[in-house]
Amino acid sequence: MNPFYLTLTDTFSKKQLLHTTGIIAVKHRRNTNVFYEKPYTFYQAGNVVYQKTIDRITEMYTENQSHIFILGNARSNQMAQLIYRYNEDHTITLKFYELSAPHKSDEVIEWNIAFHSDKTDAYMGMGMRYNTTNHRGTVVTHWAAEVMPDLALIGENATTQGRDLTYAPVPFYMNPKGYGLFLESFNYSVFDFAKTDTQTLRITAETDTLSLKVYPANSPLDIAGAFMLSHGTYTLPKPWVFGVWAAAGSDWQSKVRGQDVNYTVLNTCRNNGITLSAIFCEDWYFDFFSWNPIDDWTINRSYYPDYELMIADQHQAGVKHIGYFLPYISKQKLFKRNPVFTDVDHKGLFTKDKKGKSYVFKFAVWNEAQFDWTNPDAVAYFHNKFYAVAEKSGVDGWMNDFGEYTPYRSVFYNGETGRSMHNKYPLLWAKNARDLLSKRNTMGDYCVFSRSGWAGLHQYNDFIFTGDRNATYDLLSGLGSPIRGVLNAGLSVHPNVSVDIGAYNCEQTKPMSKLMLFRWIELGALIPVMRLHRGLQLCDHWRFDEDTETLQQWKKYAALHKSLFPYIYTLAQQAVDSGWPMVRHLAMYNPSDTVSINQDYEFLLGDRILSSPVIDENPDIGRASMEGARTTWRVYLPEGNWYHYWTNKKYSGGKYYDVPATPGFLPMFIREGRIIPTYQKDADTFVQGVEDPAIKDFEFVNDAITIYFYGYGSDRFTLWDGTVIDCTRLPGQTGTYKVSNDTGRTYQCQFID
């Protein structure tokens, strides 16, 4: 057959899932490289020294439950081998190998394969992407990179290699028509989703073996779940992780030190009845206000003179303390050699260059090297010298920041190079923290979260977050962009994706205004981990406690998030059991609705709560002003009936509506005929077993649940602890509910017309 075609068809639905087009090309290249010049990532393909095309099957047989195809062309009958296997988990594996091809050690093999793309095909996922949720018509590359403040500029002016810059790339897409596809390689790859040719999906992969895994399933949700479970099991975090987090740190403008800010944040929340489960503090080790550098990952006693006591006081108040780490060490401290760098360099614990020396790279304005996590001695060094300091101080976890800078030509202890280790490094970085804390905290009462990642990250930490955002309404890097990041990452990186509430950067922009923070709070309230951020210290962003009105906005949405905990924690258990993302794209339930498929800025929390945050305001509104803010927002409601959360007004789906959206009122809807379990009692924290009886902790709030049932229908909802709630209400009848397998709570049910 010339050329041969490979077609995968769903035998039940008769849908054609994948169909190859044209020939398969294989090239050998020398002098390939990937380098990062902020804000761009550049791929140098190198020189082609050998290439061939494959266009026919010359032999086929069955072996070990696999179908083997020998591939060739007019010149040779045996150029490559294709192994087709249907796996026990109902996935399909396709592996292409070269046969007897000349291959020198300095050569890179590049595979090129194409599939037919119908105009109705959509492609979702691909890691934590900000430019779109349906990648059709785009080119997506896979090389982890720090996403800088000028992502919008990159989108307008860069090549296709720059537009989709991300901290967490994953070469997996979900096509709502009935399958997902994963390229099983950590190396650089390019997916051309019908941009160059509107009828072709083309994959170019820098890999010795082209291995594709296909996940066929009846629903988009099952596709996403199957992919996530195939890369490990998520561990259910403790309840406090899904509580409300605040942030504290030294204040650049007022010069108030970090310890004092920590106490102010804690007291502000407790004195105003605002639920608070954790405080995130990232500046415990560095010095903003002077030119006197301190040792790496050493407590800055100028800012935190009583660091351990401060954390103990937070624990007494039922609040966990979250710290911060990154995996790099500076070569110099200002103009002096860094003694920590010298020590680690002498021990040979950094990633190396080809000459065996520590690989030093530019990181911001500093020259840095990174720990080699494939070297057990490097892991032990970091654990004993750095992690242990935080752990002994009482820290309950930390952000594992960065991890995207591994040089392409670097060499690792395990023999791999940056070619394969660049995208793998974030996984090892996350695993290190999990390994330490799981040994020292056998109760699992800790939290680690990441910014960079790859498929399988969910095995090692509690959530990933969408990174640093700008104080703008720009859709690529401003207020709205985290929504796309959450939706894509939930399909392909981690079932639990969080956002910073508040802008981080203010480069070439005004600091975040009061109105912008209002809208950011509304966006973040229905994200599973509701987490405030103070932003870059140099930026004079509007604070959550800057005036009474803003503090009340924070309190209102913290209370909303608190009330939804039973629902949110159940979604977390579903992530454990089924691999389902907690925040879901509308296409998960409406795969044939083209309007739903192309909704980038609305999302579903689970399957029954829809959020459409206001993400666009007049940027010229003053810093403290609310005048001129939007009062309505255009919302698309998918099929079914929906109830407006604030007014209980009923809307029929499949339409757009202009709904009320003054600041303080998130456009939020509940699907008809669905159970929403809530906490209505006040809660200070979701930390368990707080010793102070005056603190309303998790045990206090968890002894009573109020069930809300909207409209008419019949529904069953199983809580995270196995409790089963059944509700039924038919038109003209009084609703009924039943609770089974209960753990001793009290229940009441309210039926909403």
Domains and CATH numbers, the chain: 7-229 (2.60.40.1760), 675-753 (no CATH)
Q: Tell me, what's the pLDDT at 2?
A: 67
Distance CA 601, CA 603 (A): 7
Least confident of 113-127, 288-302, 689-703, 715-729: 288-302
- pLDDT of 661 strictly over 90: yes
Summarised one tens digit per residue, pLDDT across range 8-50 is 998 877 888 999 998 999 999 999 998 877 767 788 889 999 9
3-state secondary structure 100-165: CCCCCCCEEEEEEEEEECCCCCCCEEEECCCCCCCCCCCEEECCCCCCCCCHHHHHHHCCHHHHCC
**Are 209 and 95 in contact, with CB atoms under 8 Å apart?**
yes
Instruction: Give the residue among 287, 284, 302 at the shortest CA–CA distance from 334.
Output: 287
Does 203 score more than 80 pLDDT?
yes
Q: 154-163, 199-208, 438-447: which has the minimum mean pLDDT?
A: 154-163
3-class DSSP string for 643-672: EECCCCCEEECCEEEEEECCCCCCCEEEEC
Which sign, positive or negative, has the C-alpha torsion 617, 618, 620, 626? negative
Q: What's the pLDDT at 254? A: 87
Distance of alpha carbon 107 from alpha carbon 731, whole angstroms? 70
Q: Which tokens in the block code for residue 605?
A: 């929390």
Q: Quote the CA–CA distance of 443 and 278 in Å, as a whole number.
A: 18
Residue type, 620: D
pLDDT tens across 335-362, in order? 788 999 999 999 999 999 999 999 999 8
| pLDDT for 289 | 54
Work out the pLDDT band at 740, boundaries 50, 70, 90. Answer: very high
> CA-based Rg of the chain, rounded to a whole angstrom?
26
Q: What's the pTM?
A: 0.97
The pair of three-digit structure tokens given for residue 333, joined into one six-digit string: 């401290």
Give the dihedral of Cα atoms 591, 595, 597, 603; nearest 10 deg: -110
SS3 state at 85: strand
Look at residue 131 and tell me whether its pLDDT is greater than 70.
Answer: yes
Bridge partners (DSSP) listed for residue 592 = none
Among residues 610, 611, 586, the alpha carbon closest in space to that of 596 is found at: 586
Phi, then psi, of 180 in degrees rounded to 5: -125, 155
Q: Is 209 exposed, middle or buried (0-12, 13-18, 19+ CB in 10 A)?
A: middle
Average pLDDT over every residue of 90-101: 92
pLDDT number for residue 370: 97
CA angle 717, 723, 729 (to 5 degrees): 40
Quote the mean pLDDT of the chain.
93
The pair of structure tokens assigned to 116 is 């037919």
* Residues 527 and 488: beta-carbon distance below 8 Å: no
155 — pLDDT class (breaks 50, 70, 90): low
First to last CA, the chain: 64
CA angle 289, 292, 296 (to 5 degrees): 100
- 389-395, long-range: CB < 8 A, 24+ apart: 389/297, 389/298, 389/299, 390/284, 390/297, 390/323, 390/325, 391/436, 391/437, 391/440, 393/299, 393/307, 393/308, 393/311, 394/308, 394/311, 394/312, 394/315, 394/321, 395/311, 395/321, 395/322, 395/323
> Dmax of the chain from CA atoms?
82
Angle between helices 565-578 and 220-229 (to 10 degrees): 70
Residue 220: which of 463, 672, 581, 570 has the closest Cα? 581
Reported as a single tens digit per residue, the pLDDT across 364-394 is 778 899 999 999 999 999 999 999 889 899 9
Coil, strand, or helix at residue 221? helix
Q: Please write the tens of the pLDDT for every residue from 671-719.
A: 999 999 999 999 999 999 999 999 999 999 999 999 999 999 999 999 9
3-class state of residue 64 by DSSP: coil
Indicate if the alpha-carbon torsion angle 675, 676, 679, 685 is positive or negative.
positive
pLDDT at 165: 83
DSSP H or E run through 280 = strand 278-280
Helix (H) / strand (E) element for 449: namely: strand 447-450
Task: Write the burial class of residue 166 (CB in 10 Å: 0-12 exposed, 13-18 middle, 19+ buried).
Answer: buried
Residue pLDDT, tens place only, 487-541? 999 999 999 999 999 999 987 889 999 999 999 999 999 999 999 999 988 899 9
- Cβ-in-10-Å burial (0-12, 13-18, 19+) of 267 comes to exposed
| 3-state SS string for 458-494 | HHCCCEEECCCCECCCCCCCCCCHHHHHHHHHHHHCC
The pairing of beta strand 80-86 with beta strand 66-72:
antiparallel
Mean pLDDT for the stretch of residues 159-185: 86
| CA dist list (Å): 222 to 228, 491, 562 | 10, 10, 29
**353: which DSSP letter?**
-
> What backbone phi and psi angles, to 5 degrees, belong to 440?
-90, -15
If DSSP codes are grouped into helix, strand and coil, which group holds residue 437? helix
The percent of residues in the chain predicted with pLDDT above 90, rounded, is 82
Q: Please choose, from the candidates 446, 692, 681, the residue with its C-alpha nearest in 3D space to the C-alpha of residue 562.
A: 681
Q: What is the DSSP string of 160-212?
A: HHHHT--SSEEEEEEETTTEEEEE--SS-EEEEESSSSTTEEEEEEE-SSEEE
Query: Comparing C-alpha atoms, which of 484, 585, 573, 497 is closest to residue 224?
Result: 585
Q: Helix-strand-coil percent breakdown of the chain, rounded to 5?
A: 20, 30, 45
Of 317, 314, 344, the residue nearest 328 (C-alpha): 344
In the chain, count of helices (H) and strands (E)? 15, 45
User: pLDDT-based confidence at 1, cuts 50/70/90?
Assistant: low
Nearest to 743, CA basis, from 723, 725, 728, 718: 723
